[in-house]
């Protein structure tokens, strides 16, 4: 096996494909680059078949921080559990690859993408799908390839589409669309957008389909070069689960019964009827037959259920719950569902119910990210939880699964474009969606519930957002687009197409497609039907809460931002942080000070106001003419220092402490006395000079000089006077001597 490397340019970016040098014991391995960003993608297929009734595919993205020249944080200083971005990247690879394998493939497949270099210019995620496709091809694995994934951006100024934009180009884009598939059809879509219209989104998808074709052609060109150097690729033989006509015939004899069992609007009741029927069908097979056909029987039972459900839709126009294709399930909306929290919203559509809860905090409480991307953190966090009780099942509750991370990310992208800028609303925002019931579209219900929670909490959204999940049935030459799909239509249908947006346009998309016959005309119909559904759902939401509340909940922290001179930061923080800690402890606030002098103060109730007042006192500068009343804090021979405000003192000279002249400041003032003073001068160094208002008369017996009231010095006895040294004139120096020349 010899090294083959091929560099090519597409849409203004340079790419490189390599194979034959690294990971040669894997079934297939490819090195793929965009610019200097480099990923190694490997594929291993087990030699033996697994005794499963599903396709055992595992996809992992191995994110290495050395790729970006970083050392992992934490005590162990090594990578731990996958980051959220790594999980989303693995899902991005998995979703187009999984449906490309042949039906009945039961050998275990593991795809691992490892980041080797992250050049901080080009993202690494989308090129990994191309690497996986090429590794499968070089390994002789049967799949419907080649496949590719591209990201499409759109320049805000010119409106031009950009293929696989750099991080910098993404900053100036109003669209972040990832789509994957073959030259002929799209199988996966993921998007975030700044209220893009349906027509513009469809145009971007069409442009992306052309770009996918170009990357598929690049893989085919590499394969030609590979075979020229290393010889033809020999397809590997894998035993597939073949249909057993006898099993299919016996099971499909119960078609009418399955059709009747599915005609129940209640999910749990329908599942019970279907499972009861499946058990009766299984019982018709002997123990020997069940052992012999242990995989074929469950596979054909699923086929029977799928066929009956799909036929019902295309033949009668009705769905299992009796709805029409474009009909939306009953909706229930409640705002302010929970007391004390910062905001909450309950959204129910049919048998899918989600409670979303809002928490607000300081910007410093945002999420810090330790990834290979040039992103340090994020201010808005949306998290989605899918506990087992929401489907009436038991199960383990622990770390979020990939599906939960993916659904949370979708709702996050849906709401991010309508959040206020942090200069307008300087809060970290966390929304948690708890799925209470699930029968399809729980991610879209979490989007709607989260919008309710944000509005209930007084977050000034630009516009409210709603979401809907669309489906597709292609059966017997007929195509039906379904609005607001439920679980069985997602599981047994051809498409799961989620769309979120405002009245102005789309904010997020997610699509998984199993149908090779999905055309752009069908996609256009789905987008238009989704637009109508979103508007209907949004209307129900706005009937309950027309917009964001005018103020935050009393339980939420008030966060204020002020600017202070940079040279005052040291005074706010204090020695070892003692001043800022004291303010926080005494007021119950939280204070963040930035190097540019921006001070953010947060607290519940009056805490923020009290802390800001303390800070303003510290940074405040007196002005000539201002009058203050404050205590005497220090006395020196030349005057008294008076506390004006905060830690700011001014000098009241001894000549200004009283009317008349005094010998000692203590004759008039003592430490702790309160005096009213006026600022008469501020020197360049910031020293403040004061004059006392309402001066008292100097006490009798105090003072010096020839002024009135000045006492004479008492004469001392000559014997008490010090003797002068020879030559001493009593003034510390000898008298002058005159010499004659």
CATH number at 281 reads 1.10.10
Instruction: Provide, rounded to the nearest whole percent, the portion of the chain with pLDDT above 90.
Output: 69
pLDDT reported for residue 704: 53
CA distances from 360 to 120, 421, 453, 553, 558 (A): 31, 14, 11, 10, 9
Reduce the DSSP state of residue 226 to 3 states and report it: helix
Q: Which two tokens stand for residue 407?
A: 């659904």
Give the model's confidence band at 648: pLDDT under 50 very low, under 70 low, under 90 confident, else very high: confident
Mean pLDDT of 61-68: 95
Rounded CA separation 3/43 (Å): 18
Classify residue 670 by burial, with Cβ atoms within 10 Å: 0-12, 13-18, 19+: exposed
Q: Is 112 helix (H, G, I), strand (E, B) or coil?
A: strand
Lowest mean pLDDT among 159-168, 251-260, 448-457: 251-260
**Per the domain annotation, does 710 fall within a domain?**
no
pLDDT in tens, 652-677: 999 999 998 888 999 899 999 999 99
Q: What pLDDT shows up at residue 317?
A: 83
- Asked whether residue 623 carries a pLDDT value surpassing 70, the answer given is yes
Question: Which residues are CB-contacts of 566 (< 8 A; sequence separation ≥ 6)?
Answer: 595, 596, 597
- pTM value is 0.84
pLDDT band at 709 (very low <50, low <70, confident <90, very high): very low
What's residue 716's pLDDT? Answer: 42
Q: What is the mean pLDDT of the chain?
A: 90
Q: Are residues 275 and 368 both part of a single domain?
A: no
Q: Which residue's entry shows tokens 């330790």?
A: 370
125 annotated ligand-binding residue: no
The CATH number covering residue 539 comes to 3.30.230.70
Q: Domain end: 230, 259, 283, which one? A: 230
pLDDT in tens, 165-214: 999 999 999 999 999 999 988 999 999 999 999 999 999 999 999 999 99
Instruction: Determine the distance from the C-alpha atom of residue 99 to the mean position of all C-alpha atoms in its chain, rounded to a whole number.
Output: 29
Looking at the structure, do residues 342 and 194 belong to the same domain, yes or no? no
Q: Is the pLDDT of residue 733 over 50?
A: no
Whole-number pLDDT of residue 398: 86
Higher pLDDT, 554 or 112: 112
CA atoms of 90 and 67, how far apart (whole Å): 17
Domain match, 140 and 257 both: no
The CATH number of the domain holding residue 696 is: 2.40.50.140
Q: Among residues 266, 291, 316, which one ends one of the domains?
A: 316
pLDDT (average), residues 295-305: 89
Question: Do 266 and 338 fall within a single domain?
Answer: no
Q: Identify whether residues 224 and 309 lie together within a single domain.
A: no
Report residue 296's pLDDT band, with 50, 70 and 90 as the boundaries. confident
Where is the domain boundary, 544, 574, 605? 544
284 and 386 inside one domain: no
Instruction: Report yes or no on 733 lying in a domain.
Output: no
For position 703, what pLDDT does the model report?
A: 64
Lowest-confidence pick of 246-255, 444-453, 611-620: 611-620
Number of domains in the chain: 5
Binding site annotation covers 496? Answer: yes
Q: Do 536 and 419 reside in the same domain of the chain?
A: yes
Q: Give the confidence band of 266 by pLDDT, cuts at 50, 70, 90.
A: confident
Question: Do 217 and 107 sit in the same domain of this protein?
Answer: yes
Q: Does position 710 have pLDDT exceeding 60, yes or no? A: no
């Amino acid at each position: 096996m010899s090294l083959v490397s091929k560099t090519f340019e597409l849409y203004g970016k340079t790419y490189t494909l390599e194979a034959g040098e690294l990971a040669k014991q894997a079934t297939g391995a490819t090195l793929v680059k965009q610019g200097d960003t480099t990923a190694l993608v490997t594929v291993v297929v087990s030699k033996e078949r697994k005794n499963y009734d599903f396709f055992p595919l595992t996809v992992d993205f191995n994110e290495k921080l050395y790729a970006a020249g970083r050392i992992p944080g934490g005590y162990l200083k090594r990578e731990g559990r996958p980051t959220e971005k790594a999980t989303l990247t693995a899902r991005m690879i998995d979703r187009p690859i999984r449906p490309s394998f042949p039906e009945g493939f039961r050998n275990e497949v593991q795809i691992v993408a490892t980041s080797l270099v992250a050049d901080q210019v080009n993202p690494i995620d989308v090129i990994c799908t191309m690497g996986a496709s090429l590794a499968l091809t070089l390994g002789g694995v049967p799949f419907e390839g080649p496949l590719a994934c591209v990201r499409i951006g759109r320049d805000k100024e010119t409106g031009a589409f950009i293929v696989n934009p750099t991080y910098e180009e993404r900053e100036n884009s109003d669209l972040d669309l990832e789509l994957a598939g073959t030259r002929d059809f799209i199988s996966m879509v993921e998007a975030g957008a700044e209220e893009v219209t349906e027509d513009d989104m469809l145009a971007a998808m069409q442009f992306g389909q052309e770009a996918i074709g170009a990357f598929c052609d690049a893989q085919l060109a590499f394969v030609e070069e590979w075979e020229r150097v290393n010889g033809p690729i020999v397809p590997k033989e894998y035993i597939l689960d073949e249909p057993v006509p006898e099993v299919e015939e016996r099971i499909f004899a119960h078609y009418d019964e399955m059709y009747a069992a599915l005609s129940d609007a209640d999910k749990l009741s329908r599942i019970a009827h279907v499972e009861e029927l499946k058990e009766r069908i299984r019982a018709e097979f002997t123990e020997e037959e069940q052992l012999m056909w242990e995989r074929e029987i469950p596979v054909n039972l699923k086929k029977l259920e799928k066929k009956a459900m799909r036929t019902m839709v295309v033949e009668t126009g009705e769905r299992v719950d009796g709805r029409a294709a474009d009909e939306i399930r009953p909706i229930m909306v409640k705002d302010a569902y929970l007391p004390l929290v910062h905001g909450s919203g309950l959204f129910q559509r049919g048998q899918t119910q989600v409670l979303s809860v809002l928490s607000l905090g300081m910007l410093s409480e945002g999420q810090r990210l330790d990834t290979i991307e040039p992103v340090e953190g994020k201010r808005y966090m949306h998290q989605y939880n899918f506990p087992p009780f929401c489907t009436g099942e038991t199960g383990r509750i622990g770390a979020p699964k990939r599906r939960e991370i993916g659904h949370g990310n979708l709702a996050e992208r849906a709401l991010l474009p309508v959040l206020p800028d942090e200069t307008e609303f300087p809060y970290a925002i966390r929304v948690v969606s708890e799925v209470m019931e699930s029968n399809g579209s729980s991610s879209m219900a979490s989007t709607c519930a989260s919008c309710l929670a944000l509005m209930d909490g007084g977050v000034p959204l630009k516009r409210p957002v709603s979401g809907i999940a669309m489906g597709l049935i292609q059966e017997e030459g007929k195509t039906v687009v379904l609005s607001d799909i439920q679980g069985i239509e997602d599981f047994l249908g051809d498409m799961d197409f989620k769309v979120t947006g405002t009245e102005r346009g789309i904010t997020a998309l997610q699509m998984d497609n199993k149908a090779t016959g999905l055309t752009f005309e069908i996609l256009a119909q789905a987008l238009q039907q989704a637009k109508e559904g979103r508007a209907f759902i949004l209307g129900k939401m706005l009937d309950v809460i027309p917009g964001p509340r005018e103020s935050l909940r009393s339980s939420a922290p008030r966060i204020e931002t002020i600017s202070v001179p940079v040279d005052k930061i040291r005074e706010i923080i204090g020695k070892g942080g003692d001043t800022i800690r004291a303010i926080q402890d005494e007021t119950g606030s939280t204070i963040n000070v930035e190097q540019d002098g921006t001070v953010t103060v947060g607290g519940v109730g009056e805490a923020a106001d009290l802390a800001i007042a303390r800070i303003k006192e510290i940074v405040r500068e007196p002005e000539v003419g201002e009058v203050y009343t404050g205590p005497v804090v220090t006395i020196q021979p030349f005057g008294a220092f008076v506390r004006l405000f905060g830690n700011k003192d001014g000098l009241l000279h001894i000549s200004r402490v009283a009317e008349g002249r005094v010998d000692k400041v203590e004759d008039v003032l003592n430490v702790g006395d309160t005096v009213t003073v006026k600022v008469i001068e501020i020197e360049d160094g910031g020293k403040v000079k004061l004059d006392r208002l309402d001066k008292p008369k100097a006490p009798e017996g105090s003072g010096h000089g020839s002024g009135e009231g000045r006492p004479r010095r008492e004469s001392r006895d000559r014997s008490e006077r010090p003797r002068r040294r020879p030559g001493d004139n009593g003034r510390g120096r000898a008298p002058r001597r005159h010499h004659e020349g």
